Amino acid sequence: MRLLAMATAAVMAASPVMADLVFPSLSYRTGPYAANGIPFADGYEDYFTLLNERDGGIGGVPARVLECETGYNTEKGVECYEATKGEGALVYQPLSTGITYQLIPKATADGIPVHSMGYGRTSAKNGAVFSNIFNYPANYWDGASHAINHIMSLGDISGKKIALVYHNSAYGKEPIRTLEELSKKHGFELMLVPVDHPGQEQKSQWLQIRQQRPDNVLMWGWGVMNQVAIQEAANIRYPMENFIGIWWSGSENDVLPAGEKANGYKALTFHNLGKDYPLFDDLQKYVVDAGKAAGAGDQIGTALYNRGMYAAMLAAEAAKTAQELSGNAEITPAEMRDGMEALEMTEAKMAALGLPNFGPEFKVSCENHGGNGLGAVAQWDAAAGSWNLITGYEASDQDVIGALVDEDSAAFAAESGITPSC
């Protein structure tokens, strides 16, 4: 009997045990930005739960979300990275420009990819310099160009005054250089209006806007800053149709506090909105109804829930690509990086996933870690309580942005002693 037990144990030890595919989530469910961090984290985790419950994981291997609370604090974010990187982490989603900047050298040295989707260091689009950093499908400089292109589509921009109300941090300052170049190209005046963290007090900024009367206001805000700005804009009767936020200033949390006065406010986006997609039926069945949702299930279909879900979907598709390229179901971080660099999202692929027309088509390569830079404009309908796309996914000004990416990435390569890899 003892021999039988020993033989059985030997067979079990010799049999391969499938390790989880680990996807860390540097979340913030606490602190001044929790209202925005929670739905993103829920969407991210729920998508992987769906893959596990419906499909048995990714390529037959279960996915595991390893959540670590950062409170949107850069130091805590780095601590989370150090605490989780040894768990088999395949890709990091920092959800913070400050954390992303700190992880660029660390993750690159450790051979782990980072996906700063629509945020972070914009010049990381140059994969020849930033080998392990990806920011597809679009970046902040694309967003700055999308906003200016939208304004130009409505009339002549020459001689107009455009204000940028921005979070006074690395995040908020990202679009300034691009807007300065675009102002030279198109002849508009750029007015800079910084707002200190967390943004609850903006009386002086909006007094300045009321006095100087810019033709348009752009906003790079996050958390409570957004809702305060929209309420202050309503207080001075600034026309909401002339107020455009970056995609991190376009959630339900930002507009609902202002009620009807927020009607007409615009925000950029790189994915679609609402939950009228077949995938959401599966989320309801396999995740929410099964009692396995990360949250209460009341955020599904909101802008930030959708963004977290979209980030998870792109991570899962990159993992599938990595499995195909390597021939391994249990991929390594290096293989995940290669999968991300070979990722191609087509409309046919998104439709097959149950997300037709959910995001723009794009392709990643060694030279281009940022995708095609396509973005759309959404507008808030207060009566319906919903965001609606008012444009298709359109291109940014790559003549301006490409030159800035080349310049900034070349400077980083020189400072860091990096030889471009492709």
pLDDT at 3 > cutoff 50: no
Instruction: Give the whole-angstrom CA distance, residue 156 versus residue 219.
Output: 21
Token representation of residue 44: 């991210």
The per-residue pLDDT for 421 is 87
Strands 161-167 and 189-195: parallel
Hunting for tokens 């095609």 — which residue is that?
372
**Dihedral over Cα of 119, 124, 130, 134: its sign:** positive
Q: Which two tokens stand for residue 74?
A: 């850069």
| % of the chain exceeding 90 in pLDDT | 93
Identify which has the larger pLDDT, 16 or 391: 391
- pLDDT digit string, tens, across residues 166-211: 999 989 999 999 999 999 999 999 999 999 999 999 999 999 999 9
Q: Which two tokens stand for residue 201?
A: 């007090």
Domain ranges of the chain: 12-138+273-373, 140-269
For residue 18, name the pLDDT band (cuts at 50, 70, 90).
Answer: low
Q: How confident is the model at residue 297 (pLDDT cuts 50, 70, 90)?
A: confident
Q: Comparing 12-138+273-373 with 140-269, is the CATH topology the same?
A: yes
- The whole-number pLDDT of residue 19 equals 79
Q: What is the value of pTM for the model shown?
A: 0.93
Closest CA to 387 of 251, 245, 218, 223: 251
First to last CA, the chain: 61
CATH superfamily of 12-138+273-373: Response regulator (3.40.50.2300)
Q: Is the pLDDT of residue 136 over 50?
A: yes
CA-based torsion, 388, 393, 399, 402: positive or negative: positive
What does CATH list as the number for 140-269? 3.40.50.2300
112, pLDDT greater than 90: yes
Residue 79 above 50 pLDDT? yes
The structure tokens listed for 315 are 């991570």
What is the rounded distance in angstroms from the CA atom of residue 416 to the CA atom of residue 137? 26
- State the burial class of residue 414 (Cβ atoms within 10 Å of its Cβ: 0-12, 13-18, 19+): exposed
